[in-house]
A and B are shown apart, each in its own frame.
Chain A
Amino acid sequence: MHYLIGNLGHLSVITAFVSALLSSFAYWKATTLAEIEKKTSWLENGRFAFYVHVTSVLAVVACLFVIIYSHYFEYHYAYSHSSLHLPAQYMLSCFWEGQEGSFLLWMFWHAVIGIVLIKTQKTWEAPTMVVFTLVQAFLGSMILGVVIPVIDLKLGSSPFILLRDAMDDPIFKIQPDFIPKDGNGLNALLQNYWMVIHPPTLFLGFALTLPPFAFCIAGLWQKRYVEWVKPALPWSLLGGGILGLGILMGGIWAYETLNFGGYWNWDPVENAVYVPWLILIASIHTMITYKNSGTALKSSIILVIAVFVLLLYSTFLARSGILGDASVHSFTDLGLSGQLLIYLLFFMLVAIALAIVRWKEIPSSEKEVSTYSREFWIFLGAVTLCLMGFQVLLPTSIPVYNKIISMFGGTSNLAPPADQVGFYSKFQLWFGVAVAFISGTGQFFWWKKIDKEKLKAELLTPILITLLIFALIIAVAKVYNIPYLILTLAGVYLIVSNLKVLFALVKLNPKLSGGAVAHIGIGMMLIGVMFSAGYSRVVSLNQNGMLILKDAPTEFNRDNLLLFINEPRSMAGYDIEYRGERLEPRHKSGYINKNDVELTFDPFKVIATKDIVFQTKQLYKAKDTIEIYPENTFYEIELRKEGKLAATLFPRVQINPAMGGFIASPDIRRKMTSDLYTHVSLPMSREEEPEWGKPDEVKVRANEEFFINSKYSAALEEVTRIEEIEGIKIEGEDVAVQATIKVQGEHEAYYAKPIFLIKGKTQVGRLPDEINDLGIRITLLNIVPETNEFLLGINARQKDWVVVKALEKPYINILWLGTFVLMIGFGMAMVRRFKDYSANQD
């Protein structure tokens, strides 16, 4: 038992919590006291306490990581999220698979950003750090794991809880020091590189919404209603970029790992982060408007507060268990819902109260905004983004309404829409169109002074170019669906109008072009989404009219392709051929043919029976022991075009008998214009003994050609006497001979080595040998010395097979490319605003 590390960790959590509170108090004093001397000393106290806090957070992270990395399965966290065989890079995923770890990750980023604020801010440090440290105290309380004695209230769930305290297994009564030999392991779907980088990115995005909120609150509190916008804006831009990237990474993970064939499912948990992101983007726009023209300050305040509150709300939705009946993301309920609710309500109510108290003092511009001004269009865009978020938020919150109604004694049986994707898409599509048209048009007002006549002149060329490109796209891609047509038109318009601005800016001042670049990215994403989601089509159509499975649903028989090993079929202009089951070695990249290894007692190890070559590279020598992942099987599938190999795909299947099913992950053939997305929809079961057909007997001489199944040319190459069989020596009068039969398969020659054994002169034993890929088994039945002939028995079974489904996702690369462009745009805008701010800071 390793008690020290857990106690150290727990102590650090408590220190982190207490130091955050102390720091908060000190910064509060530093903000409110008038005397300079006292102010400074409190400021130093606050800073010191914050550094203690940061150190403790790092210590908590380190302790938890040591527990996971050293496989201390006496701890619940290590036991339930990790296992001995988990590769090192996924230890990181274990860290944030649990709720406690993800709270910790969030705190970690806040701590980092807090240090940046302390180092860079002068007058803002004290009030913003009050907000920061309070948030940290709330987050710290989530992982405290302390019971307050008198009222018997449990605060937080500690990641350092011992297994025996978390579980009630009888073994702990008999043997309190019991430590399981292995952990439960990480959910196989999370063993993916995206799951290593998606959570940290997402939580960094979460954390980056705190600085704007803190500046806004500090501004309201300190009556610096105007000044807070400047330092807050670059953080919002950074947050908008990172949070967007984090959300998309989740989508890419789903696309590559889950086999629903898409990247976004409109699940409540996904929606819960999408909404704050939309509002964050809206807030960036109103803040820019304010900086340029002095309008929209009040909207900026409302939106910046809303972003942070919505983020807390999304945390509440995702982690309190309230979505339990509504979401496929099953979150383990840690019993923190009360604490999460207080966290949400505290910041919501304080921020709203502060805003109401100060509302009248906030300067606002009374002048009417002209329709022909940039501000008007930006504001219209921000409003559209808010409505877009509202449309998602409203149904996502249905479980919350039910809860509230039942709290007041009522009953409500409202459930979220059953067809989430259809429901949300039909609205979000039109909002996307509106956003594109508004922001495309808004760009023409870049140089403020413009009137109706001038606008017409400005618009003419871009509209013509838009229509031209639009016509081209329709002609090439054959889009006929009206909503999709309009979305495409909107996307093209957005790109063209921003390109126009971009060209003008590049000559003038390239630093200012971040916005235009970001908008081009959005336009590309809209078009990419439209194509890849709207025109995704099944290409693995079963055209030979034969049912794959009698009792399977019609769709299954229509949309799937049954592939027998080494028998090509045609699909979507390719010849598709299944080449067999493969294993993935742990320490080298490549795949191993299952026929080339033999199993050992350790399921994680196999031994090579011959030199293993993968795509002309030798991976292993014969007799090498290879570490593998036993639960993963890959199905090698070749795609050929006009006889030439176009791609080799390795879709994966994870078979987990304990979980009662199989999990298929796709492999994706990426081309410029489309992705071919292939996954196994039914693997062949290896559990049951195959049904062998009646034996076929052939009498052959050495080196005489014969045919098996009347299609495989075969020859008996030699018959030799052997001294041992599978390590057992043959002694005395016993005689064993082994025949080597070469069978020419579709792609390669196989060797079968059946054995014929004579025991004590009278007893005969026959050990048949199987050629898996050909589905045949050869037995050496008899030897006729008089004629030098050998009698072979050949059984056949159904050849190995796999059922696959393939989808074509046209132009999905436009979506990824658009994301990339969007991120560049965010980056450019952020750099500009940070420089702008630091240049002007007094």
Chain B
Amino acid sequence: MLSRKLIILMKKSHMLAIGVIAVAIVIIISTAGDASTYVNFDQAYRLASNGSSTQVHVVGELPKDAAGNIQGLENSEDKLSFSFTLIDDNNKEQKVYYNEPMPPDFTKSEKVVVIGLYESDRFIAKKILLKCPSKYNEQKLNATI
């Protein structure tokens, strides 16, 4: 009975405010819960070997030779999937597998973000984000000269 009285005493606007705050808290908690993390390959490996099946983000650089060609890039025969080497912030080299065709512009990228997880000893990317060179870093003209 007391609680009923309390509700009646409260103004509707206050109830609305409480409702809003409650929903906002739920949103914040769930966002924190569902958020992924940026990690390096060692951390990603540890997470996966501890049984975690959540996907993580790894930021890394594509190794390039003097001519600017990406090293360690392997297209599967049917071009349906490909693998490449990625060097993370700790300078760890890791082969990354991607079960989709190579995204356009991949070879132009320098840094990429891979979103995925370790499956046994292989890092399987579910998604790749490309970071293209910025306007003032792109210093070479194309072949149509």
The answer to whether A169 and B140 touch (CB under 8 A), given A330-B132, A383-B20, A390-B24, is yes
On whether the beta carbons of A383 and B16 are closer than 8 Å, the reply is yes
| Contact pattern, B 96-118, Cβ under 8 Å of A = 1, otherwise 0 | 00010111111110000101000
On whether the beta carbons of B136 and A335 are closer than 8 Å, the reply is yes
| Contact pattern, B 42-62, Cβ under 8 Å of A = 1, otherwise 0 | 000000000000111101000
Q: Which residue of B lies closest to A387 (CB)?
A: B23
Q: Is A551 an interface residue (CB 8 A)?
A: yes
Pull 16 A–B residue pairs with CB atoms less than 8 Å apart, ordered by A.
A76-B135, A157-B135, A167-B140, A169-B141, A324-B131, A325-B38, A325-B57, A380-B16, A395-B31, A415-B115, A418-B54, A418-B56, A418-B115, A551-B78, A659-B106, A681-B80
Stretch of A482-490, A619-627, A660-668 with 4 or more beta carbons under 8 angstroms from chain B? A660-668
On whether the beta carbons of B139 and A167 are closer than 8 Å, the reply is yes
| Contact pattern, B 9-50, Cβ under 8 Å of A = 1, otherwise 0 | 001110010001001100110110011111100000000000
Least distance between B57 CB and chain A CB atoms (Å): 4
Q: Is B91 an interface residue (CB 8 A)?
A: no
On whether the beta carbons of A413 and B79 are closer than 8 Å, the reply is no
The answer to whether A387 and B27 touch (CB under 8 A), given A332-B132, A413-B39, A417-B35, is yes
Q: Is A328 an interface residue (CB 8 A)?
A: yes
Q: Which residue of A lies closest to B136 (CB)?
A: A166
Least distance between A77 CB and chain B CB atoms (Å): 10
Q: Which residue of A lies closest to B55 (CB)?
A: A418
Least distance between B104 CB and chain A CB atoms (Å): 4
B78 CB contact (under 8 Å) in A169, A327, A549 = A549
Least distance between B96 CB and chain A CB atoms (Å): 15
Which residues in A have their C-beta under 8 angstroms from that of B139?
Answer: 167-169
Q: Is B145 an interface residue (CB 8 A)?
A: yes
Which residues in A have their C-beta under 8 angstroms from that of B20?
Answer: 383, 387
Q: Which residue of B lies closest to A681 (CB)?
A: B80
Least distance between B33 CB and chain A CB atoms (Å): 9
Which residues in A have their C-beta under 8 angstroms from that of B12?
Answer: 368-369, 371, 376
Q: Is B76 an interface residue (CB 8 A)?
A: yes
Which residues in B have their C-beta under 8 angstroms from that of A368?
Answer: 11-13
Which residues in A have their C-beta under 8 angstroms from that of B129?
Answer: 324-328, 330
The interface centre, meaning the residue of B11, B55, B136 with most chain A CB atoms within 10 A of its CB, is B136
On whether the beta carbons of B27 and A182 are closer than 8 Å, the reply is no
**Distance, CA A551 to CA B74, complexed state (A):** 14
Q: Which residue of B lies closest to A654 (CB)?
A: B104
Q: Is A414 an interface residue (CB 8 A)?
A: yes
On whether the beta carbons of A330 and B105 are closer than 8 Å, the reply is yes
B24 CB contact (under 8 Å) in A387, A681, A685 = A387
Least distance between B59 CB and chain A CB atoms (Å): 6
Q: Is A511 an interface residue (CB 8 A)?
A: no
Least distance between B23 CB and chain A CB atoms (Å): 5
Q: Is B90 an interface residue (CB 8 A)?
A: no
Q: Which residue of A lies closest to B102 (CB)?
A: A661
Least distance between A651 CB and chain B CB atoms (Å): 15
Q: Which residue of A lies closest to B132 (CB)?
A: A330
Q: Which residue of A lies closest to B30 (CB)?
A: A427
Least distance between A699 CB and chain B CB atoms (Å): 40
Which residues in A have their C-beta under 8 angstroms from that of B13?
Answer: 368-369
On whether the beta carbons of A413 and B37 are closer than 8 Å, the reply is yes
Q: Is A416 an interface residue (CB 8 A)?
A: yes
Q: Is B71 an interface residue (CB 8 A)?
A: no
The answer to whether A414 and B34 touch (CB under 8 A), given A327-B129, A387-B24, A659-B104, is no
Which residues in A have their C-beta under 8 angstroms from that of B107?
Answer: 658-660
Number of contacting residues on A, CB 8 A?
63
On whether the beta carbons of A167 and B144 are closer than 8 Å, the reply is no
Which residues in B have their C-beta under 8 angstroms from that of A413?
Answer: 37-39
Which residues in A have their C-beta under 8 angstroms from that of B106?
Answer: 659-661
Which residues in B have their C-beta under 8 angstroms from that of A221?
Answer: none
On whether the beta carbons of A661 and B36 are closer than 8 Å, the reply is no
Least distance between B90 CB and chain A CB atoms (Å): 13
On whether the beta carbons of B144 and A181 are closer than 8 Å, the reply is yes
Which residues in B have their C-beta under 8 angstroms from that of A332?
Answer: 132, 134-135
Q: Which residue of B lies closest to A412 (CB)?
A: B38
A551 CB contact (under 8 Å) in B76, B103, B105, B145 = B76
B57 CB contact (under 8 Å) in A380, A418, A659 = A418
- Additional 17 contacts, C-beta under 8 A, given A169-B139, A184-B142, A415-B57: A80-B138, A189-B104, A325-B131, A330-B105, A330-B131, A330-B132, A332-B134, A368-B11, A368-B13, A413-B38, A414-B35, A415-B37, A415-B56, A415-B115, A417-B36, A661-B103, A685-B79
A416 CB contact (under 8 Å) in B16, B36, B39, B141 = B36
The answer to whether A656 and B135 touch (CB under 8 A), given A180-B145, A387-B23, A414-B35, is no
Which residues in B have their C-beta under 8 angstroms from that of A324?
Answer: 129, 131
On whether the beta carbons of A656 and B104 are closer than 8 Å, the reply is yes
On whether the beta carbons of A166 and B135 are closer than 8 Å, the reply is yes
Q: Is A691 an interface residue (CB 8 A)?
A: no
On whether the beta carbons of A416 and B78 are closer than 8 Å, the reply is no
Top 8 A-B pairs, shortest CB-CB distance: A418-B55, A415-B36, A415-B57, A661-B102, A333-B134, A168-B139, A413-B38, A418-B36
Least distance between A236 CB and chain B CB atoms (Å): 23
Q: Is A784 an interface residue (CB 8 A)?
A: no
Q: In chain A, residues 407-445, which have Cβ atoms closer than 8 Å to a Cβ of chain B?
A: 413-419, 423, 427
**Distance, CA A184 to CA B145, complexed state (A):** 11
On whether the beta carbons of A182 and B144 are closer than 8 Å, the reply is yes
Q: Is A793 an interface residue (CB 8 A)?
A: no
The answer to whether A659 and B38 touch (CB under 8 A), given A418-B57, A418-B115, A682-B78, is no
The answer to whether A333 and B135 touch (CB under 8 A), given A418-B55, A418-B57, A418-B115, is yes
Q: Is A334 an interface residue (CB 8 A)?
A: yes
Q: Which residue of B lies closest to A555 (CB)?
A: B99
Q: Is A321 an interface residue (CB 8 A)?
A: yes
Least distance between A542 CB and chain B CB atoms (Å): 15
**Distance, CA A294 to CA B26, complexed state (A):** 32
Q: In chain A, residues 809-830, which have Cβ atoms closer than 8 Å to a Cβ of chain B?
A: none
Least distance between A716 CB and chain B CB atoms (Å): 39
**Distance, CA A326 to CA B57, complexed state (A):** 9
Least distance between A655 CB and chain B CB atoms (Å): 10
Q: Is A398 an interface residue (CB 8 A)?
A: yes
**Distance, CA A659 to CA B102, complexed state (A):** 9
Q: Which residue of B lies closest to A398 (CB)?
A: B35
**Distance, CA A80 to CA B139, complexed state (A):** 12
Least distance between A761 CB and chain B CB atoms (Å): 47
Which residues in A have their C-beta under 8 angstroms from that of B23?
Answer: 387
Least distance between A684 CB and chain B CB atoms (Å): 10
Which residues in A have their C-beta under 8 angstroms from that of B132?
Answer: 330, 332
**Distance, CA A390 to CA B77, complexed state (A):** 46
Which residues in B have their C-beta under 8 angstroms from that of A180?
Answer: 141-142, 144-145
Least distance between A657 CB and chain B CB atoms (Å): 10
Q: Is A40 an interface residue (CB 8 A)?
A: no
Least distance between B85 CB and chain A CB atoms (Å): 15
Q: Which residue of B lies closest to A333 (CB)?
A: B134
